[in-house]
Structure 1
Amino acid sequence: MVTRAVAGREWLLALAPRDPRDPRATLDHAAVTAASRGDAVARVGPAAVCWAVGIGEEMAERIVAEIPALGSGTAPFEKLRSGTEASVLRALLVLAQPDAGLSPIPPESLDGVQEFVRRGVSLDGVLRGIRLGHAHMTRSFLRDCEDLVAPDRVAAEMASVTDELFVYIDGFAGAMTREYLTEYDRWTTSAAATRAQTVRAILAGEEVDPVAAGRVLDYDLARRHLGLTMWTGSAAADVGLQRAAADLLRARGARSALVVPVGAGQLWAWGSLPPGPFPTTGPVPPGLRVAFGSAGAGVDGFRRTHAEAQRVERLRRVASSGADVDGATDYDDVAVAALLAGDVGAARDFVRRELGELAGAGEQAADLRTTLLHYLVAERSLITVAGELHIARGTVAYRVKRAEQLLGRSAGERRLELHTALVLARELGDAVL
């Protein structure tokens, strides 16, 4: 197979990333299979394929910004990116070689349908994502068409490309709809779906018979529960995650566990705890991020511990200062920040208003905030803070004084608000500073 394009479409072979140094627009960064990538390179050349790789990632980012459910989290985003990248490549090949008999929908795009169904993403949501992606892809083709095609032909070529991409995306949407409905029928008749639907009904506050639901789930809803959410930075196998979740819950004293996969590299889980205190530590396998709720009894406790775990997960995902790293976080350790992080914009405004210049970037400002937070917690004891931070008492006094200068007020004024803002700054970092 040789690099070629139908007469008049040679400009497609000249497509290339606008920034050749962009690491996201390279063959090594491609999300499609090696076979798909190799076939595309043979048909239109490596530069055009790199262009498609970059546009595919932009599409995925645009879609997730509007519809987070389609790709929130690293593994789900990579699954979505594989589909968007594949669709750009297929559109490129269809435009360049319309007589090649290529299907309008590549296999990588179909792969994401199963996950969408299992995560409860509606067909309307999937189709809206397709429309958003199509709009971005069309703009990208037309932008480069205008740059690469001779002025006397560009208007006619842009009109032709627009029409052909509309036909392409119409076929794409139709194939995705058929695949979604087929997978939905398959999933809703499976035992796993019944368990997942039962859990979602409980979490949604629907009236359920705890005994009957417990039989479906093989889990006693009347006992005390510890909920967790788990996610990973890579598309790890669900079975590996399920084993890890069960092991973590057992390490915290759980006698039985309920694990519900909710997408690639993501799951929810609950452990049934005996009365009394339980361990709050346990080894977390490398590559895994875990958010724990606090223990709660009965159906209400089942819901509450899960809601708390989700707040912690959101806190860690939102944080832009390296907080979303491997390991476990307990709700009791970050409860205030987790509650306030539900509206990041409001939290950002609050932190900046309360801290003023103390919300600045850099290591020096971070040291001042850390020292001031310890100072407030220690009831303004310089000796206690010096021991906790392993610095001289005079250094503590200097930092507190400097922090108050940046605040424009004493640390004793609006103490609750100041304490809260410092906690948010510590947990969310650059997202609120």
Structure 2
Amino acid sequence: MTAHHTSGPADWIYRLAPGRGDAPRTPASSAQSITEATDRLGPQPVAWAIAVGDELARVIIHEVPGLGGGPAPYETLRMGTEAATLYALLLLADPAADRVVPEESLLGDREFARRRLGLDKVLRGIRVAHAALTNALMAACQEIVPLPERAEQFRRVSELLFGFVDEFSSRMTAEYLAEHDRWLTSGAAAREETVRLILGGQPVRQEAASELLAYRLEGRHLAVIAWCDSPTADAAGDLQRAAAELLHRRGCTSTLVIPTGRTTVSAWGEPHAAPPTGTPGELPYQEGIRFACGSVRHGLPGFRQSHEDAQDTVRVMQLNPGSTGSVVDYPDVELAALVSADLPALRRFVSDELGALAADSRHAGQLRRTLRLYLRNERSLTVAATQLHVARNTVTYRVKRAQELLGHDLTDRLPELMTALEAAQTLGPAVLRPEEDGSHDGASRRS
């Protein structure tokens, strides 16, 4: 869609564009917001705003780490910085227009209040973003605007941004305090505080805590962490329903669901003694929702441990998001979770054990998968061929080629070899060597 504007002192705003060679970024704002901004400014200034919004979010987290908290909170923060950057461009392009601070730039406030982040940190984040946005606009102005006109444009940028930030800070403060009050008076505060104490290993009166949470703490527990990759959706309600549904389908008789942000919830359920039926991983959950499940544990310590298992599962899923499904159970990734606690050390281990097989390439991956299934099936060529849907001779060739690249007999370091293969299978590029890196063209260092 073509932008509509008349010539004027702010024409340089319409000539903004992301740097050459910069990979295009996916917008964090809603499709409607992007369409409206593109109609007014044009696609290139909007792309510039998306890139700058992403950079602002990174700068804020670097300067005020408490405002981070993982991929989902980061996307919420990025939506706010992107919306604020777009608003600033629209303001500079047409200062006389009647505009209000966009709601998308305020959504993170509710999450900050619920996460008990101090208002001082929120306001410091605004100041950091203001300075970074001012610098980005000044730099772009210096590059685009002729020298005789720069001083006036610098003045406009400074004046309009100070006015915007003053209004924005006031709105953020009001929203934060309102959300904080709502949270305190809703009863959610007491429940979330109780869960926080349990997860932190603090002493609680188990009977009183069970009554407050309406959830039996002395039983067996299956913990789930659910989050949504879509930062534009108001996903809190959908996430809570989805987490409760998954737990019920896992055979849980009662559930406890605690929102931990706009795009994340923690949940627990008390499963039946009998194994659950069904295949939860294949249920048609809303696109973008993912679930990390812990192990079934018992009692108050089990409530905490199952949640920690789920957290480790989240970490594994985020290390290799392309290869894990929407529902992942801790027992299925337990080995990868344990060995990836020190990721740099694991990368070295995988590289040393697998040699050329540690390359992140299609050919090396094919050999790794074949060798892994061959070893897991007690060296049965027939079973491995069936699972891979290839001929038995193909498995024979691949295993022989893999052993040549390893440079030693498969029994020499079998536990280490299997561990490296499992880590590569689950974590993928997070522990593999880029294909172009030729540092291990030959056999493994262990040979």
TM interval, short-chain normalised: 0.7 to 0.9
Deviates more, 1:87-96 or 1:128-137: 128-137
Aligned with 2:5: secondary structure? coil
Residue in structure 2 matching 1:176, options 148, 172, 175 = 172
* Corresponding letter in the other structure for 2:360: A
Cα distance between partner residues in 2 of 1:147 and 1:110: 31
Deviations 1:48-79 (A, max 9, x none): 344323322343355567748647345x4543
Aligned with 1:3: secondary structure? coil
User: In 2 relative to 1, CA 402–45 (structure 1 residues): closer, same or farther, beyond 3 Å?
Assistant: closer
1:342 Cα offset (Å): 3.6
Asked if the contact 2:310–2:330 (Cα under 8 Å) also holds between the matched residues in 1, the reply is yes
The corresponding residue for 1:416 is 415
User: In 2 relative to 1, CA 212–120 (structure 1 residues): closer, same or farther, beyond 3 Å?
Assistant: same
Aligned with 1:184: secondary structure? helix
Matches within 5 A, 1:4-23: 7=9, 9-18=10-19, 23=24
- TM-score calculated relative to the size of structure 1: 0.84
CA RMSD of aligned residues (A): 3.4
Identity of aligned residues (%): 44
1:365 Cα offset (Å): 0.9
Aligned with 1:242: secondary structure? helix
The corresponding residue for 1:79 is 76
User: In 2 relative to 1, CA 392–99 (structure 1 residues): closer, same or farther, beyond 3 Å?
Assistant: closer
The answer for unaligned runs of 5 or more in structure 2 is 433-447
Cα distance between partner residues in 2 of 1:127 and 1:413: 59
Matches within 5 A, 1:194-209: 194-209=190-205
Residue 386, structure 1, aligned to residue 385, structure 2: yes
Residue 430, structure 1, aligned to residue 426, structure 2: no
Cα distance between partner residues in 2 of 1:263 and 1:389: 42
Cα distance between partner residues in 2 of 1:408 and 1:131: 58
User: In 2 relative to 1, CA 277–93 (structure 1 residues): closer, same or farther, beyond 3 Å?
Assistant: closer
The corresponding residue for 2:138 is 142
Asked if the contact 1:289–1:324 (Cα under 8 Å) also holds between the matched residues in 2, the reply is no
The answer for unaligned runs of 5 or more in structure 1 is none
* Corresponding letter in the other structure for 2:12: W
* Corresponding letter in the other structure for 2:202: E
Deviations 1:348-377 (A, max 9, x none): 333223222111122221111112222332
Residue 302, structure 1, aligned to residue 276, structure 2: no
Matches within 5 A, 1:115-130: 115-123=111-119, 125-127=121-123, 129-130=125-126
The corresponding residue for 2:5 is 3
Cα distance between partner residues in 2 of 1:132 and 1:325: 37
Asked if the contact 2:382–2:392 (Cα under 8 Å) also holds between the matched residues in 1, the reply is yes
* Corresponding letter in the other structure for 2:5: T
1:422 Cα offset (Å): 1.2
User: In 2 relative to 1, CA 56–46 (structure 1 residues): closer, same or farther, beyond 3 Å?
Assistant: same
The corresponding residue for 1:336 is 335
Asked if the contact 2:249–2:276 (Cα under 8 Å) also holds between the matched residues in 1, the reply is no
Residue in structure 2 matching 1:192, options 185, 188, 194 = 188
* Corresponding letter in the other structure for 1:81: R
Residue in structure 2 matching 1:51, options 33, 48, 51 = 48
The corresponding residue for 1:238 is 236
The corresponding residue for 2:89 is 92
Deviations 1:111-156 (A, max 9, x none): 2211222244444553454355334423321221121122345467
Cα distance between partner residues in 1 of 2:324 and 2:150: 47
User: In 2 relative to 1, CA 24–39 (structure 1 residues): closer, same or farther, beyond 3 Å?
Assistant: closer
Cα distance between partner residues in 1 of 2:119 and 2:342: 27
User: In 2 relative to 1, CA 126–432 (structure 1 residues): closer, same or farther, beyond 3 Å?
Assistant: farther
Residue in structure 2 matching 1:31, options 29, 32, 50 = 29
Asked if the contact 1:227–1:295 (Cα under 8 Å) also holds between the matched residues in 2, the reply is yes
Cα distance between partner residues in 2 of 1:209 and 1:5: 69
Asked if the contact 1:64–1:72 (Cα under 8 Å) also holds between the matched residues in 2, the reply is no
Matches within 5 A, 1:275-424: 275=273, 277-279=275-277, 281-282=279-280, 283-286=282-285, 287=287, 288-320=289-321, 322-326=322-326, 328-424=327-423
Deviations 1:320-345 (A, max 9, x none): 5x12443x211111101122334433
* Corresponding letter in the other structure for 1:402: R
User: In 2 relative to 1, CA 198–285 (structure 1 residues): closer, same or farther, beyond 3 Å?
Assistant: farther
* Corresponding letter in the other structure for 1:3: H
* Corresponding letter in the other structure for 2:306: T
1:419 Cα offset (Å): 1.5
User: In 2 relative to 1, CA 409–5 (structure 1 residues): closer, same or farther, beyond 3 Å?
Assistant: farther
Deviates more, 1:129-138 or 1:32-41: 32-41
Cα distance between partner residues in 1 of 2:392 and 2:37: 67
Cα distance between partner residues in 2 of 1:149 and 1:307: 54
Deviations 1:403-430 (A, max 9, x none): 2232333322332222222111111111
1:272 Cα offset (Å): 1.1
1:395 Cα offset (Å): 2.6
Cα distance between partner residues in 1 of 2:345 and 2:23: 33
Deviates more, 1:407-416 or 1:118-127: 118-127
Aligned with 2:360: secondary structure? coil
Aligned with 1:255: secondary structure? strand
| Number of residue-to-residue matches in the alignment | 424
User: In 2 relative to 1, CA 111–6 (structure 1 residues): closer, same or farther, beyond 3 Å?
Assistant: farther
Aligned with 2:283: secondary structure? coil
Asked if the contact 2:79–2:104 (Cα under 8 Å) also holds between the matched residues in 1, the reply is yes
